[in-house]
Structures are given as structure tokens and as C-alpha cells.
Structure 1
Amino acid sequence: MGRGGGRFGGRGGPERKPTLPLKESLKQLAHLLWPFIRPRLGAIILGTLCLLVGLALGKVVPLISAWLVDNVLTPAVKGGSDAPEIGVVYRQVGVAAAAMLGCALLSALVSGVHNWVVRSASASFVRDLRMAVYRHLQRLSLHFFESRPSGDVVSRVAGDVGGLEEVITFVGDRLFNDALNLLVTTGILFWLEWRLALVALIPVPLLLLMMRWFSTTIRPVYRATRDRYGEVHAKLQDNISGIRVIKAFHADEQEVSAVGGMVNRLFETQVRAIRLSSVAWPLMGFLHGFGHLLVISVGAFLIVRPGSTFTVGALFAFTAFVMQLYHPIGALFHTYNHLLQCLASGERVNEIMNAVPEVADASDAYELPDAVGQVAFDGVNFRYTPEVPVLKGVSFVAQPGEVVALVGRSGAGKTTIINLIARFYDPEAGRITVDGHDLQSITQASLRSQIAVVPQDAFLFNGSVSENIRYARPEASEEEVRAAARAAYAAEFIEALPDGYESLIGERGVKLSGGQRQRLAIARALLADRKILILDEATSMVDSHAEAEIQQALAGLMRGRTSFVIAHRLSTVVHADQILVVDEGTIVERGTHAELIERSGLYNSLCREQIRSA
């Protein structure tokens, strides 16, 4: 049965989403990040104090230079009766130099403290945010992951969350510093010479207009770039996971071409951003130079004007402060650029954090007591998409310890029934109970802690054999692990591996054969020792000899447990206590093998088809 598309995924990669209005995007970013910024306010305040000290020290040096030029160097150069003695000049120059050196050393010290404090805070900020996003992902329902490219989700957790580090290191930290620097410098300029200060501010409106143009133009480009990154990441992950199929069908060049197209689209969006930056930054540099030229020209006129009190030292200090005026404007522009990039990343992270689990525990949900194992469906309807019903009025009761086989053609709804038992989805109508407890009244964790699953495509993690077997029971002893492996007829091949139970099996168990992976999955379920067991074609990947051995092991495992078995090979379900024949979402037959084979129904037909095929 088909599944619905996701909010930001589909076959072609991440779905293009419209860029939010700037105010709304900032509001969402603040709401997302504030819980992670608040615990680090102390570090941010300390870093800000360091910036303030550095800012003050930066203002002192030009004033010392102005005093040195007007009160020491200029009188010494002019000579005359008022000229200071050369020894006095040397001492005063030495004092000024020592003061400026002291300012430089202190500035370096506070800069180092600031860098250590802010960088440490930003690193821990990213760590906690990434873990919060991952925890939220774990709470989301199965449908969320089935309807989105996994590579795009990984790109958001890894790349976009990492990009938000600049909220502290650049945006929050530098924004305050540069804004304060701008205000203080402007005040000093007006204090030195208000007319020249007005001249220095002439380029500022043009710079502000350019910033507004840049922000409205570049934001959609930054969002498109982040989406393209996610698209490429998703495709690469898909191809690496499916490398065997690519090699088998000699589709190397086909996939290189497909990835190349995505990489080129990413490149095109990056070039658009570069093109815009290449216009904005040189234009800003030109406006800075133009402002300097105006200040020097008007300043020189003020100095030579008869009766002027504006001195060369004052102009010297004024030009230094003009540098400090234009630098924070440029830095604010740079910070604003980083903020826009953060907004693009923040929007993508927010889409994950705003995703609501389709299956969630009720506010008054309680823990499922130790299960006896009765499972009942009562008039259950379900659909993945509104257009296509998958289950229609399904009802049955599995008594404790019974083996219930689900039989039917592909797409009949067998796997959906299994998914509902584990509460990966909720039915749209009807009721499912375990020992009389409605699944929607108990916690998901307490339900799944009493279910063991052996899927058709056994998924193994990139770790050791031992780690994979004890996945559901990390505290299990080595002897329990070995016992489970023996019961699953896996001990022989495990002990033949180079490092035995500590052998690394690669991503998804790539170093093992299909049958070996399936045996490890069975050993994992054996060690879990749960009351409800789900076997989805559990012997499909093993040969007939191994199947007979594993069937014996499973028979022992299923004894005393309620077991649901999905099987296409009907020979594996002949001893089931109850066989449910599913067709187009309804149970059309039920009974034992002996009962059903006597009828001329679907089960009888499926058995005959398999006999003819054999």
C-alpha cells in the first residue's frame, strides 16, 4: 500500500519551502534557541564584559595618539622658546608608548578570555541543541521517517544544527559589541568635532539601504542552498546504502550523472550567493573609502581655516575613530549576513522540532503490567493516506501462548497488522488491546518493552556481534549472549569469525551473509525474552537445512509466548494455532492449516500455487 508524502521530503529530495517573513523567522529562531541560550547567559555576560573592556581599550589608544601629536611631537617639531627639552620629549613618548603597549597587552588578554568563554559556550550550545533534536526525532512516529529522505534529516541534525553555532559566536556576541562600538564611536566623533562627525555619517544611509537590499535578495538563496545540501546528502546516503544494487546493475555512470545534477544545482545556488556578495562587499568598501576621503578633505579645511581650534592631533584621532565607525558598520553587515544564514538553518531545524508525533502517549497513559499475552483487534480500520483504505473491520483474538500466522498475497495488509500491534501507527477506527488494555491508554515504551521483532530484512548496527545480540538487553551476560546465539544456530559461524563475538560486522551487517544476519536478528529476539513475538518472514534468508534448525529454535522460543508470524512459505505456518488469511485489508478466512486446506478458499488456492511452483 502506498504511503503519503512528507512535509519536507519526497522521491526527488527535500521539498522547496517558501521563505518565511524575516520577523516571523526571527521569532521562530528565538523560540527555538532561547532554552539553550538561557543556561549560558553567565558565559555570554562574561564574554560581553571582556568585549566592553576591549572596546574601551580600543578607544584609549587614538586619544593617547592625539595627545602625543598635539602636546609632544608638534611643539617639539615647531621648536622655539616653548619647545620641550629633548629628554622630556623622549620620556613623554616613552610613557605614551608604554601606555599603548599596556592597552594592547590587556586587550590581547581579555580577547583570549572572551574567545575561550564564548567558544566553549557555543560548543556546548550546539551539543545540547543537537541532542534535543535527536531526542525529538526519537519521539516522532514511524511515518515521519518513512515519508522523508533519511539523508535530509541527517543533514538537518548535523549540518543545520552546527550552523546555528554562529548565533552565539557571531550574531549574539558580535551584534551587541558592534552596535555598542558604533554608538560609542559616534559619540566620540561628535565630541571631537560635530561638523566633521556629520560628514563622516554621510555614507551611513547608503550602507543601511544596501543592507536591506542584500537581506531581501540573499535570504531565499541561503534557504535554497541549505535545501540543496540536504538533497545532495540524502542522495549520497541513499546511494551508499544501495551500492550493491548500483554495482549489480552497472548503474555507476547513471548515479554519477544523477548526483552530478544535484551537485550542479547546489553549485548554482552557491554562485548566486557569491555573485550577490561580490557586489555588496566591494560596494561597502567603496563607501568606506569615500567616507574617509570626505573626512580627510573637510578635516584639512577645518585645520587651515583662520582661527580654527581643530588640531592635527585631533584629525589624527578623528580618522582613527572613523575607522572604528565604519568597521562596526561593516562588521554589522557581516553579522547580519551570518544571521541570515542562521535563519535558513533555523527554519530547517524548526521544521523537525515542530513536527508532532502522530502516535503519542495520552496525558493519563499508564504502564502496561507484565503481559500475559492476549492480543485482540476489534473492528480495526486503518489507512496510510485518506484515499486508500488498508485495513477494513479487522477483528481477531490471539490467546496467550498462541501462534498466529498472517497469510496473504503481497500488499494484503499483513505488515500493517503487525505495525499496529507494536503501535507504530494508531487505527482510525476500532480498538486494539493487550490483556484487555487499550493500546492508546498505555505508554508506548511499556508496550514495546514486551515485544520482540525479527524483521524480514534484518537490520544490524555497525558494531560487534555481541553488541548487536544484546541490543535489547545491554546488561545481559556473556553466557546469555552465547546461549542465544546457540539457540539461533549462529554460534558456529560467529566463533569462526576473526574476533568471535567481538568481531565488527560493518554498517547494516555488510560483512555477513543474508542468512547470518537473519540468525543474529533471531538471537537478538531470543535474548530479549519478550511475551509477544513478531516474526516477519524470519526464515526467508536462510537455506532449507538452516530453516529446519531455526524453526526448531523458534518453536522453543514461541512456547508460552503469543507469536505473530508473517510467512509467504506456507510450509512454515502449518503448525500455527490460528491462521488468519488476509486479502485486500480484510480477514477472509481463519482457522488451522487442516481446517483451511479442506476449504476451497484463498488459503487452499495459495497452497496449490506454491506446490505447483515447487
Structure 2
Amino acid sequence: MGPRPGAGRMPDDLRLAPGQRPDVRRMLALFRPYRATLVGVLLLIVLAAAIGVVSPFLIREIVDVALPRQRADVLAWSVGGLIAVTVVASALGVTQAMLSTRVGQAVMHDLRVSVFSHLQRMGLGFFTRTRTGEIQSRIFSDIGSMQAVVTSVMTQIVSSGAGVLMALVAMVALDWRLTLFSLIALPFAVWMNRRVGRRRREIVRTRQEKAADLSAGIQESLSVSGILLGVTMGRTEALTRTFSTDSRELADLEVRSTMAGRWQMAVFTTLMALFPALTYLLGGHLLFSDPEGKGVTIGTLVAFIALQSSLFPQVNGLLRVANQVNRSLALFTRVFEYLDAPILIQDAPEAVALDPATVHGRLRFEEVAFTYPGAEEPALAGVDLVVPAGQHTALVGATGSGKTTTGYLMARLYEPTAGRITLDGHDLREITLESLAASIGVVTQETYLLHASVADNLRFARPDASDDELEAACRIAQIHDHVMGLPEGYGTVVGERGYRFSGGEKQRLALARTILRDPPVLLLDEATSALDVATERAMSGALAAAARGRTTVSIAHRLSTIRHADQILVMENGRIIERGTYAELVARGGSFAELARQDAWREDEVPGGGTTA
């Protein structure tokens, strides 16, 4: 429910190794597809910087030539030159900003899509170990915070760097002695900036982890389920206090991030402000020692101060940008952690694309074992089973016996730790994921509906499905009449996670969505668990019709739903302990017979035999 310390952080196997540093080259590689545009931006920046240093030389001409000698022509073209420089520099700046912003937004788009695409292929195991709020924080908060760096900071570095270089060249051309004096404080500034940058990077990483924790807590606490749990458990005040504490910690980290190194930068800024006055002092002494003005002239001194006044802000800007980059490196590192997370389930190089129309649906487990990541005991051990094509096979057993895990492996949501699983003789690892998903339709006990219309939810399975096909699937799932009774029929919007519908109605919509795909293999993981007995019995004939000609695997809690299954496999502690039909297993008097007795007792005890739909 509420944020827990460290709960939003990456699983240990997805974090950078101790001492591993952010890869700046990798960050710069994001710009590689836009090299041509960046070269254009670079040329514009260099041209603008070169034009910018012309102004002090024009000022020197005005002070040393035009005014003392009353040269109106020199004054006119010098002033005209100053105006032209300003206009051209402004035009170049606007063009450069437009191009660099377009490149930056394109890089942001590529990065967001890369992370989203990578996460889509991460597999179920990753999402069972990572909270949704943490994932959203990486995609929106971290990448969003990187936007300023990607869209403007990189060009600002080049712009300031080119400005500093051009200014130094011009200053040396004016007087090398004054230039050396102006650079005295530069090593101190660089050292101080590196030290502040390290501090800020550490603070920013901690801040983003805390923000991810807070985001995950909000995601959990303010969902419909979270609100119901908090209110019914009387935990609203406690959750508010926890949120307040975490929010205060985040605010403190924000202050620390903002203020890190501010005093050092203030000292440097003050020092830079004193240099023009000290330069006048040194320049005056040089002028006094050379009264003929062959070295330093008044115009040279004025021009030099103008260049110096543009140099120091450029240097200061470079140092500030360097700190921004240091802070952003922590964000890039967090995002790269996701991009570097291994994709455990993906297409093999020689994977075969099966045509669902030609799939018979025979599934086989050969000495399959599976252990969940981080678990000590295996969930499945030495499982051998055959699901005949076109028949109904049911998996039953107590909670934790391995039924759902077996279903996950059939759909290749996990890879077996040992052994292999085949579909029509093809190892699942040698079948493309797309064709496997088209061949095996899955309906789980935890129904998920998109925040969209009923029709859009159904067409998520088949975007090209016609209205008649939607209605046919819904009739099979016994939900068509209810949908038609809604204010807008199939155009009615389903609330977040389907909370405008009851559990049974959501379950039937999910069934209709899978039936619409018409897969040759149907995997039902307690798919009728939310239906009452009357609705379940009404649907049984329709489901039997839908299952005719295809392989059906039912993971059942209520044994009444699998009474007519062709084969029932009883599981216990990750192993199959009994096989047979319903009548055969009851007659044996073993574990299944005991489960049947308990199921019959529950049916008798619960009025109506189940929850209402």
C-alpha cells in the first residue's frame, strides 16, 4: 500500500555493478542518427561565436581611431558593423535553437520508445518483482527530467565552448599578458566544479529513487483497490502520515540537490566579478609603462574588458551546464539499467512462425522443472504430461500445487528450468512469440480491461474484427445482452480496470475477447471463478461449443466445471500425482476424491453456489 523504503528500486540483478560509472559515450550515441543536423547546428554555433568576437575589435576602432581622429567614415562602418553583428548573431541563435530542439525531442522520443519496447519484452517475472509506480517513474519522471539536458544543454555546451575558445583567441590577439592574468582562477573553478558535480550526482540518484518510491505508493494507495483496502482496514490516516513523511524526505532531497555547491559557485562568481576591475588596474600599469601605446592602448583595454565580460559568463555557464550533466548522468544511468536488463524470453535466431490455422494443438511436457527466480524450492519438478489435440484437459490441486505455473509455462510466460515443452512437436523456444500467442489463447483469473469502450477492449485481441464478430463472441460468453443494455451499448466506456462492471461481467468480457481471436489452443486459468453457479452452467454449453475442435486446458478450482473433461491431472507440490477422468479418479478414492468431497461440501454450504455475476 504505502511507500516502503527501497521498494521502488531496481531488483539487485538489474542494478549497475558496484563502482560502475555512467557511460557518457553511450549517452552521446543517442544523437548518432541525427549527425547531419547536429553538424549543421555545430556550424551555426561556431559561426555565431566567431561573429560574436568581432564586436570588441569594432569597439577598439571606435575608441582608438574614429573618436580621437574624428573619422566619421570609420565611426559609421564600425557602428554599422556592431548592428549587423547583433542581427546576424540573433538570427543564427534562433535557427540553431530550432534545430537543436528538434533533435533533442527526437532523441527523447527514441529513448521513450526504446524503454517501452524493451519493457514490453521483459517477461512476466520482471513485473512480478518491480512495482508499477517504479516503472512509470523511470519512463515519465526520469526521462522527463533528462529532457532539458537532451534538448538544450548539449548545444549549450558546444555554444559556450565555442564562445570561450573564440574569446580566448581574440584576447590573445589583443594582449597575451592580460589573457594569462584572466585565466588564473580557471583551474580552481574546474576543480571545484568536479567536486560539486560528484555530490550532486549522488543526491540526484537518491532523490529519484525516493521519487520512484513515492510514485509507486501513490499508484497503489490511490487505485480503486487501494482505496477500498485503506478504507476498510481503517488505514487512511496512517497512509497519509507515511506519505507525508516520504514527501518531506523528497522535499529535503530537492533542497539539497538545488543547494549543493551553491556557496562554492557564489565565491567563484564573486571572484569573476572582481577580475574586470583588476584587469583595468593591470592594463593601466601596462599602459603607463608604454606611453607611446605600442602595446596596450585605451581601445585595446576597453575591447579586452568587453571580451573578458563575455568570457566569464561563458565559463560560468559551462560550469553550470557541467553540473546539470552530472545530475543527468544519474538519470541516464537509471534509464540504461532498464535498457540493459536482460530479456529472458525472446525469439530464437531460427524460430519458426506457426500458422494458427494449421496448428493441431497437441502439447507435451517432457521432464519439466521450474523454479521461480529467488525461490529455494522448485514450483515444478519432473512434470511429464500430454495434452491431446482437440481434447479437454483439466489441472486441479490445492493452492500452490503448481497448476498456474504449468499454465504460465504452456503460454511461455516463463521458460522451464529443465526439460522442454512442445506444441505439435515444436519446442516452444523454437516458435516465434507472435505465432505462439496467436496459437494459445489465455484467460486468467485476474481480468484486466483497458480504460476504453467495450468494443475497443474486444478489438484489442483482433483490431480488424467486425461488429458482427464482436457480437458473436459476446453471445458465446453470455455477455451480449448485458452489453446491449448499457447506455451506449458496445460504445460504453469501461472504467479503469473494468470497475464499472461486476467481477463476473468482466470475466465474461475477457472470455469474449479471447474467443474473438479463435486460437487453436484455449488455456483457462480459473476463468469462471467469478461466475455464480447459474451463469456458469448457462455458459458451459457455449464454452463447450467454442472449445469444439480445439485443445482446451482448464486450471480449475471448482471441480464441477471440469466434470466432463477428457483428462484430469491432479497436482501436488509441483508434481502430477493422479491422472484420469472424473469418474475414474473419484472411484480410486485418492487425493482427487477428497478434493471432490470438499468441493461438494462447499457447494452445499454456500447459498446459490457462488458469487453473483
Q: Using the TM superposition, give the Cα deviation of residue 277 of structure 1 relative to its aligned residue in structure 2, in angstroms.
A: 3.7
Q: How does 1:162-311 map to 2 (within 5 A)?
A: 162-241=144-223, 242-305=226-289, 307=291, 309=293, 310-311=296-297
CA distance in 2, matches of 1:47, 1:330: 22
Q: Name the CA shift for 1:33/1:482 in 2 (closer, same or farther; >3 Å).
A: farther
d(CA) in 2 for partners of 1:511 and 1:301? 85
> Cα distance 1:235–1:38, how it changes in 2: closer, same or farther (>3 A)?
same
- Matching of residue 518 in structure 1 with residue 507 in structure 2: yes
In structure 1, distance between residues paired with 2:95 and 2:162: 20
What amino acid is aligned across from residue 7 of structure 2 in structure 1? G
Structure 1 unaligned spans of 5+: 1-8, 76-82
Deviation at 1:33, TM superposition (A): 5.1
Q: Distance in 1 between matches of 2:80 and 2:18?
A: 52
From 422, 443, 464, the counterpart of 2:411: 422
* Residue 53 of structure 1: how far off its partner (Å): 2.1
CA distance in 2, matches of 1:497, 1:293: 80
Note the residue ranges of structure 2 that are not aligned, 5 or more in a row.
Answer: 606-613
Native 8 Å contact 1:29 1:347 kept in 2: no
Q: Does 1:487 align with 2:476?
A: yes
Measured against aligned partners, the alpha-carbon deviations of 1:373-425 in whole angstroms (never above 9, x if no partner) come to 11111211111035111111111111111111111111111000000000111
1:197-248 deviations in Å (ceiling 9; x for gaps) = 1211111121112112112222211211222222222222222332332233
Q: In the aligned structure 1, how far is the partner of 2:568 from the partner of 2:410?
A: 17
Whether 2:452 is the aligned partner of 1:463: answer yes
Shift of 1:518: 0.9
Cα pair 1:118 1:168 within 8 Å, conserved: no
Q: In structure 1, what is the Cα distance between the partners aligned to 2:66 and 2:506?
A: 85
Q: Which residue of 2 aligns with 1:31?
A: 26
| Residue of structure 1 in register with 2:539 after alignment | 550
* CA displacement at 1:317 relative to structure 2: 1.0
Distance 2:558 2:27 in 1: 51
Counterpart position of 1:602: 591
Which one-letter code corresponds to 1:512 in the other structure? F
- Out of 373, 393, 399, which is 1:410 matched to? 399
How far is 1:527 from its partner?
0.5
Give the Cα–Cα distance (whole angstroms) in 2 for the partners of residues 599 and 245 of structure 1.
44
**Please, which moves more after superposition, 549-558 or 241-250?**
241-250
1:401 aligns with 2:390: yes
Cα 1:574–1:20 shift into 2, 3 Å: closer
CA distance in 2, matches of 1:130, 1:32: 14
- Using a 3 Å threshold, how does the CA distance of structure 1 residues 308 and 164 change in structure 2: closer, same or farther? farther
Residues 1:19 and 1:483: Cα distance change in structure 2 (over 3 Å) = closer
Question: Which deviates the most, 509-518 or 246-255?
Answer: 246-255
Calculate the TM-score normalised by the size of structure 2. Answer: 0.92
State the alpha-carbon separation in 1 of the partners of residues 186 and 249 from structure 2.
36
- SS of the residue 1:25 aligns to: coil
Q: Secondary structure at the match of 2:523?
A: strand
* Among 48, 53, 60, the residue aligned to 1:54: 48
Task: Name the SS for the 1:360 alignment partner.
Answer: coil
Match of 2:350 among 351, 364, 369: 364
- For 2:263 and 2:10, locate their aligned partners in 1 and report how far apart those are by CA, in whole Å: 30
Cα distance change on mapping 1:236 and 1:243 into 2, 3 Å: same
* Cα 1:99–1:503 shift into 2, 3 Å: same
Amino acid of the structure 2 residue aligned with 1:45: V
8 Å CA contact 2:11–2:130 kept in 1: the answer is no
What fraction of aligned residue pairs are identical, expressed as a percent? 34
Larger mean CA deviation between 419-428 and 552-561 belongs to 552-561
- What corresponds to 1:327 in structure 2? 313
- The match for 1:105 is 87
State yes or no: 1:13 paired with 2:1. Answer: no
Distance 2:507 2:411 in 1: 20
Counterpart in 2 of 1:45?
A: 39
Aligned AA (2:297): T
Contact 2:201–2:328 (CA under 8 A) maintained in structure 1: no
Secondary structure of 2:222's counterpart equals helix
Structure 1 residue 585 corresponds to structure 2 residue 574 = yes
Displacement of 1:148: 0.9
Q: CA deviation at 1:464?
A: 1.0
- Bigger Cα displacement from structure 2, 472-481 vs 352-361: 352-361
CA contact (8 A) 1:378 1:396 kept: yes
Report the CA distance between 1:183 and its aligned residue: 2.1
Task: Quote the residue 1:6 is aligned against.
Answer: none
1: CA distance, partners of 2:172 / 2:93: 28
Given the alignment of the two structures, is residue 67 of structure 1 paired with residue 53 of structure 2, yes or no?
no
Alpha-carbon contact 2:214-2:247 (below 8 Å) kept? yes
Matches within 5 A, 1:142-161: 142-161=124-143
The Cα offsets for residues 522-550 of structure 1, whole Å up to 9 and x where unpaired, read as 11011110011011111121222222222
1:120: which partner in 2? Answer: 102
**Separation (CA, whole Å) in 2 of partners of 1:167 and 1:539:** 51
TM-score, normalized by length of structure 1? 0.92
State how far apart, in whole Å, the 2-side matches of 1:441 and 1:184 are. 60
> Which position in structure 1 is the counterpart of 2:436?
447
User: Is 1:349 aligned to residue 345 of structure 2?
Assistant: no
Give the drift of 1:10: 9.3
Of residues 511-520 and 295-304 in structure 1, the stretch that sits farther from structure 2 once superposed is: 295-304
1:354 Cα offset (Å): 0.9
For 1:79, the equivalent position in structure 2 comes to none
1:319 shift after superposition: 1.0
Q: Aligned partner of 2:61: which letter?
A: W
Letter in 1 for 2:264: A
Identify if the C-alpha distance between structure 1 residues 374 and 157 changes in structure 2 by more than 3 Å, giving closer, same or farther. same
> Which amino acid is 2:286 matched to?
L
Q: Confirm or deny: 8 A CA contact 2:105 2:151 kept in the other structure.
A: no
Alignment match, 1:374: 362
Q: Secondary structure at the match of 1:449?
A: helix
Distance in 2 of aligned mates of 1:611 and 1:142:
35
Which has the larger displacement, 265-274 or 496-505? 265-274
The Cα of 1:15 is off from its aligned counterpart by: 4.8
1:142: how far off? 1.4
Provide the rounded CA distance (Å) in 2 between the counterparts of 1:295 and 1:249: 72
Partners of 1:308 and 1:448 in 2: CA distance: 89
Deviation at 1:298, TM superposition (A): 1.3
Paired with 2:28 and 2:379, the residues of 1 have a C-alpha distance of 41
Tell which deviates more after alignment, 159-168 or 336-345.
159-168
The 3 A distance-change label for structure 1 pair 175 and 19 is farther
Q: CA deviation at 1:20?
A: 7.6
For the aligned residues, what is the CA RMSD?
A: 2.2
Q: Could you report, residue by residue, the CA deviation over 1:13-40 in whole angstroms, capped at 9, with x for unpaired residues?
A: 2159888899x635x3423551x41221
